[in-house]
Every structure is written in structure tokens, then in C-alpha cells.
Amino acid sequence: MLLHNNKELFEQIILQISDNTGIRPDIVEKDYFVTILLKDLTVALPHLVFKGGTSLSKCYKAINRFSEDIDISLEENCSSQSQRQKVKESIIKSCESLKLEILNLAQTKSKRDFNRYIIDYPSNFSQHSIKKYLFIESSFFLKSFPTEIREATSILYDFLFTNGFFKIIEDYELNPYKIRVLSMERTFIDKVFALCDYYISGRIQEHSRHLYDIYKLYPLIEKGNFLVSLISDTRRVRQGKSFCPSAEQGQDINDLLSKILSEKTYKSDYELITKDLLFESVSYDKTVETLLEIIKSEIFC
């Protein structure tokens, strides 16, 4: 039996977590549904790669913010048309199994490089500054490398385990599960490029979260020849993609980061949106100090 099917206990635990941690009930609830949906997909898709901000919080415990989208891809050399079709079929089956409704299924096409599935889920708490639905984003236009196997957990599991509620964990299938995840180094690199891409395109809204993630990741990643080589490889796979303008020849990442700093491009969005999703207090000014460190390091030169 899954925990949300015991509505009374589910709500009771969520409220207890919120009281003890300060994390809003709507966030704990949505994080739970993200976790069980992703778990179902890992069983059906052995070549699945989990990536993006949600992987940083669920698998690496590298960030202290709520990340709600499920970003998935496939391992290198495993993104044939039949594999892409299987991704769509697995998403449909997982949602059916969990009694979740895909609201835009007719608009998704397995032949596309990118699909965004909008999924309704049963929410019992008022939502503040988080999206009303679950989102699964499947993308195949960028090769996902390097990857590693990590364990994924929910906010709910972390609280129950820390406080010794092992029987609830076992009874309601809340244990961690293994999943293939894009490396922290590659995610860091993608986020630096993305910050510059959105600056070039002028699409700033809701993208200041990359500032926070970069701030958290930079002290954790290995610096040196491996990182420089991976930056070069990542730039190469991003080149030629219309949504990755900062990777093109002639674009200077350090120059773009300097402009982002001097123009305070993401400050308003960070203070209005991203700060509300953090489980810790980190100012905009603190995050942009990391951009200065990156510029001085010259790793993107």
C-alpha cells in the first residue's frame, strides 16, 4: 500500500514534518509524488538518466531547495525511436498505476526530442509559489554523460528515517531506490551554460534558480583537467542547438557572466521566486560571488 492511499496518516506525517523542519506541507506532499512517480519509471526504463535540479536534491543532497520537475533522458546510444516510444509508454503506464492523469497526452509525440508531460495529482494542501501540476520533461537532444548510480529519497523518507519510523517506511514502500543520474560536474556545467543562454534570449523568469544551484555545486565538484575537458565536451554537444546560443563559437562565457553580474540580470527573479523555494537563507549577493570565482578560475576559457 502506498502512503497517500492512507489519507489520514499521510496528512498527519506531512504536517509533522512541516512543524519540525519548517518545510511547507505543499512542498513535502508534491516531493512525495515526484519521488514515487520517478521510482515507478526507473523500474520500467533501465536506461533512464535522471538529471537537473531535482536530481541534485534527491540523489546528491547537494542543494537545499525544492525542485519539482522530473527531468529525464536516456543513456548514450540508447535513444533509438523504439526506446523513445518506450519512454512515453512507461510514463503513461506509471501514471495509470498511480492513478495520476496526464492532462496533455494528445500533445506529446514520441518522435520529438523534447516532451513535457503535465500531470495532475491529488493535493490536500494550499499551494504557494509551486506549480499546480507534476511535470515530466523527457529530452534527447543532448547526450547525457557522464553518469553514475545514486540512491533517491524523498523529504518524507528522510524525516521518517532520521526519527526512527522504520515500520512506516517498510509498510508504505518508502525506502530509497537506485537510479542512474547525470554527474554533478556535468550538471554544474549545463547550468552555467543555461544561465548564459537565458541571458542571451532574455528569458529570465524562473531561471534564477541556476544561480543558487551553481553556488551550491561549485565547492563540491572536482576542479582540474577533468572538469576543463568535460566543459569542452559539453560545449561541443550543445553547439548547433538553437536553445544553446552561449555554446557557439565566438561566445565568451566569462564575458557573459560578467554582464550578468554587472546588470544584476537575475536579482529580481531570485528575490521574488527562488528565495521562496529555499530551505535555507542564501542571498542573491552571496550566490553571485560564485560567478566571480568561476570567472577568475578561467575554466570556461
Query: Could you tell me if 32 and 173 lie in one domain?
Result: yes
According to the model, what pLDDT value does residue 165 have? 98
Query: Could you tell me if 162 and 257 lie in one domain?
Result: no
Query: Could you tell me if 263 and 156 lie in one domain?
Result: no
Binning pLDDT at 50, 70 and 90, where does residue 79 land? Answer: confident
Query: Could you tell me if 207 and 151 lie in one domain?
Result: no
Binning pLDDT at 50, 70 and 90, where does residue 54 land? Answer: very high
Binning pLDDT at 50, 70 and 90, where does residue 78 land? Answer: confident
Query: Could you tell me if 260 and 194 lie in one domain?
Result: yes
Do residues 30 and 23 touch, judged by C-beta distance below 8 A? no
Query: Could you tell me if 229 and 84 lie in one domain?
Result: no
Query: Could you tell me if 7 and 155 lie in one domain?
Result: yes
Query: Could you tell me if 193 and 176 lie in one domain?
Result: no
- pLDDT higher than threshold 80 for residue 129: no
Binning pLDDT at 50, 70 and 90, where does residue 224 land? Answer: very high
Query: Could you tell me if 162 and 188 lie in one domain?
Result: no
Question: Where a domain ends, among 158, 182, 206?
Answer: 182
According to the model, what pLDDT value does residue 130 have? 85
Mean pLDDT of 255-262: 99
Query: Could you tell me if 178 and 208 lie in one domain?
Result: no
Q: Could you tell me the end-to-end alpha-carbon distance of the chain, in angstroms, rounded to an integer? A: 53
Question: Where a domain ends, among 151, 182, 213?
Answer: 182
Query: Could you tell me if 158 and 195 lie in one domain?
Result: no
Question: Where a domain ends, among 182, 202, 227?
Answer: 182
According to the model, what pLDDT value does residue 278 have? 96
Mean pLDDT of 239-267: 98
Do residues 299 and 226 touch, judged by C-beta distance below 8 A? no
- pLDDT higher than threshold 90 for residue 127: no
According to the model, what pLDDT value does residue 66 have? 93
Which strand (E) or helix (H) includes residue 192? helix 184-201
What's the domain count of the chain?
2
Neighbouring CB atoms inside 10 A of 173's CB total 12
Domain membership of residue 232 as a residue range? 184-297
- pLDDT higher than threshold 90 for residue 128: no
Mean pLDDT of 93-108: 98
Edge to edge, the sheet with strand 48-51 lists 101-102, 114-120, 134-139, 69-74, 48-51, 177-182, 147-152
What does the mean pLDDT of the chain come to? 97
